Amino acid sequence: MYDAAVIGGGILGCATALHLARGGMKVVIAERDSLCRQASGVNAGTHSMQMKRAALIPYALKGWEMWRDAPQWLGMEVGFRTTGGLTLAFTEDEAEALKTRMGRRIDAGAPIEMVTAERARAIEPGLSDTAVLASYCPIDGFANAALTGLAMRRALLEDGVDVRERSAVDGIERDGGGFVVRAGETRLAARRVVLAAGVWAGPMLAWLGVPIDIVCGARHVAVTERTRPIMRTILGEATGKLSIIQPGNGTVLIGGGWPAVGSPKHGSMTVIPKNLVGNFQLACATVPALTRTRVVRAWPGLDANVADHLPLVGALPGLDDAFIIGCVRGGYTTGPYMGRLLGELILGREPEMALFDPGRFGQASHAVH
């Protein structure tokens, strides 16, 4: 019998499983595909305080520290770089909106300052001269999200976690004082379950009789061919429609929340051509050198959300042995810390920061009892 079965091997499930194992629990993690191949592997890899919700800034700062210190706790360097980041306003209205938006993040503890357009161009010489105001955060940076699965697999195995990849969970049943998790012919008996299945957590909540609607969002990231260094920082834009970075390999990653089409039910994902074009136009207007660079690939990813846009991290309502971790926007940055917090709760310790109680969405009908 396992002490805990974690369902879903994205960054949130892996981080939770790792913390539980390090706390002395016998842990299994069941992942339908390979670890961190969905949102946790296809995201843009930015660690930007300016792109996080104000309420999540304290968690993002802790997550940022953990990615910086990855060699110590994860056993591997994952391409973490601090480049600084600029968010740009192109009109007077956007400038007002930017001051308000960043003011909330500064109040929440993010080391962000407002800078003139001239200062922004001194920090980032590749910028066009159309911005009227900017905000700057010196600790913004990125890591290589494609390395998350590799790093997590090594760490989990080293800490004795039973890693079951290509194990699609298709049922959870009550069994005495615990649960039986079904994955095809396999049965995993565990005292506790942790749902960490991203946009696919909805049916699992229904198995446990918990009425929380998981909303599926889809957005794209595009990558250019390798080019000479054309920018140094992470660039965003006041309305949150842009994110551009040029990692060390010379390619430029372009994203920023333009919707794509995705369905967790069918696992289908496609980009929307006009949104790609809109995203590229904004990127080229921001960094003119991009007009001379070809985009070679674009891909969508699925991101989970709930009605109040805050994470679900904690025990499921009315159940003290079933937990969820998910719907964490900017979850690549905050993921390791969120996993640590939930791990602390499950280990019976006091988490150092408040969790995000799923009970705010109402009580369970306890279908599994």
Ligand X SMILES: Cc1cc2nc3c(=O)[nH]c(=O)nc-3n(C[C@H](O)[C@H](O)[C@H](O)COP(=O)(O)OP(=O)(O)OC[C@H]3O[C@@H](n4cnc5c(N)ncnc54)[C@H](O)[C@@H]3O)c2cc1C
Tell me how far, at minimum, the Cβ of 116 lies from ligand X, in Å. Answer: 27
Q: Which of 79, 85, 317, 326 binds ligand X (CB under 6 A)?
A: 326
- Is 31 in contact with 165 (CB distance < 8 Å)? yes
d(C-alpha 326, C-alpha 365), whole Å: 21
- Asked if 233 interacts with ligand X (CB under 6 A), we say no
- Asked if 124 interacts with ligand X (CB under 6 A), we say no
Q: Between residue 279 and residue 318, which ones bind ligand X under the rule CB under 6 A?
A: 301-303
- Is 133 in contact with 100 (CB distance < 8 Å)? no
Tell me how far, at minimum, the Cβ of 37 lies from ligand X, in Å. Answer: 6
Q: Which of 79, 126, 198, 358 binds ligand X (CB under 6 A)?
A: 198
With contacts defined by CB under 6 A, name the span among 1-9, 113-121, 171-179, 265-273 that binds ligand X. Answer: 1-9
Binding mask 6-45 for ligand X (x = CB under 6 A): -xxxxxxx----------------xxxx---xxxx-xxxx
d(C-alpha 145, C-alpha 41), whole Å: 5
Tell me how far, at minimum, the Cβ of 16 lies from ligand X, in Å. Answer: 9
Look at the block and give the residue holding tokens 């091997």.
9
Helices in 108-253 by DSSP H: which ranges?
A: 117-123, 148-158, 201-207
Complex with ligand X: residue 8 or 126, whichever CB lies closer: 8
d(C-alpha 204, C-alpha 22), whole Å: 26
DSSP-derived 3-state class of residue 41: helix
Complex with ligand X: residue 90 or 200, whichever CB lies closer: 200
DSSP-derived 3-state class of residue 89: strand
- Asked if 212 interacts with ligand X (CB under 6 A), we say no
Tell me how far, at minimum, the Cβ of 317 lies from ligand X, in Å. Answer: 20
d(C-alpha 304, C-alpha 197), whole Å: 9
Complex with ligand X: residue 223 or 290, whichever CB lies closer: 223
Picking from 217, 31, 224, 63, the residue whose alpha carbon sits closest to that of residue 140 is 63
- Asked if 196 interacts with ligand X (CB under 6 A), we say yes
- Asked if 223 interacts with ligand X (CB under 6 A), we say no
Residue nearest to ligand X (CB): 10
- Asked if 179 interacts with ligand X (CB under 6 A), we say no
- Asked if 221 interacts with ligand X (CB under 6 A), we say yes
For residue 95, give both structure tokens: 């400038």
d(C-alpha 327, C-alpha 273), whole Å: 26
| Buried/exposed 161-171: b ≥16 CB within 10 Å, e otherwise | bbbbeebebee
Complex with ligand X: residue 126 or 335, whichever CB lies closer: 335
With contacts defined by CB under 6 A, name the span among 84-92, 231-239, 322-330, 345-353 that binds ligand X. Answer: 322-330
Terminal-residue alpha carbon distance, the chain? 19
- Is 54 in contact with 31 (CB distance < 8 Å)? no
Binding mask 333-352 for ligand X (x = CB under 6 A): x-x-----------------
- Is 20 in contact with 347 (CB distance < 8 Å)? yes
Tell me how far, at minimum, the Cβ of 63 lies from ligand X, in Å. Answer: 8
For residue 244, give both structure tokens: 């551009």
Task: Give contact residues for ligand X (rule: CB under 6 A).
Answer: 7-13, 30-33, 37-40, 42-46, 168-169, 196-198, 200, 219, 221, 255, 301-303, 326, 328, 330-333, 335
